[in-house]
Amino acid sequence: MGRSQHKSCAPSDLPFDSWADIPWSQYEKQIKKLQRRIAKAIRERKFGKARALQNLLTRSLAARALAVKRVTTNKGAKTPGVDRVRWTTHKQKMKALKKLLQRRNYHPLPLRRIYIPKRNGKLRPLGIPTMLDRAMQALYLLALLPVSEEEAYPHAYGFRPYRSVADAIERCFKVLSRSSSPEWILEGDIVGCFDNIDHDCLLRNVFMDRKMLEKWLKSGFIDGRSLQPTLAGTPQGATTRTPETGPETGRASRQTRALPGAGPGPVRSFRRMTIGRSKRS
């Protein structure tokens, strides 16, 4: 499909005529620069400045374009929400850029509840937001990531964009390879962390627009034909799910390090406890 077919779909306030004309590398550099400034403000405890920079980022055209690109190119792009709308054409994506500026009248729709099988034979519930809600979450995620990275526990490696399994292996090797290393390894997990985390706790601790966060948390979900309220937890399938809970799991990680014999290694908080002996010669 040629560019000329998309010329008429651009809102008048955009500096480009079609989706294919967007300068992605330039926009990515702009957002990374803003994210570094947000991280620096958080590091220096200049929270007012950090909030102002977050607001600047979420209103920028660069961030809006990257948010729409993210939700239209990831694995869930073909799965619609309750409105059954998907953004598949250049025209729909261009219109979405303008919709992301309309914050005052924005109200997220309920999630569409679906179930996928787990290894143990049970079903895992997923909450599928609409494309607009996903894009709005992706937009605010760009402003939230530098905060969650700056505040994260130094030796947490899961669900972090600049950490990998190799980093976790390296840390384990450094902690467990010495003659004075702890002999026992304690592994923990949290029962239904995302399903049961307290909304008020998130609203108090997540460094972002609280009104917007509350709208997402209280949007409810549709299971079959019935609308159900969301009284606690964050849905699996939401774009901002992990950074939202990052501050709380980080605090839990720091608290578990104070346990007798925990040693200097990374320890998570508990739902299921597994104790094993480290194999050192």
CB 206 within 8 A of CB 247: yes
C-alpha span between 239 and 130 (Å, rounded): 11
Among residues 190, 196, 189, 188, the alpha carbon closest in space to that of 235 is found at 196
Instruction: Provide the pLDDT for residue 175.
Output: 86
Per-residue DSSP letter, 110: P
- The whole model's pTM is what? 0.78
Put the strands of the sheet holding 226-228 in their side by side order. 123-128, 111-117, 221-223, 226-228
Task: Classify strands 111-117 and 123-128 as parallel, antiparallel or unpaired.
Answer: antiparallel
The CA-CA-CA angle for residues 279, 280, 281, to 5°, reads: 125
The reported pLDDT for the residue numbered 109 is 94
Exposed/middle/buried for residue 12 (C-beta within 10 Å: 0-12, 13-18, 19+): exposed
pLDDT of 230: 84
Both tokens assigned to 194: 């995302």
Residue stretches of the chain with pLDDT short of 70: 1-13, 235-281
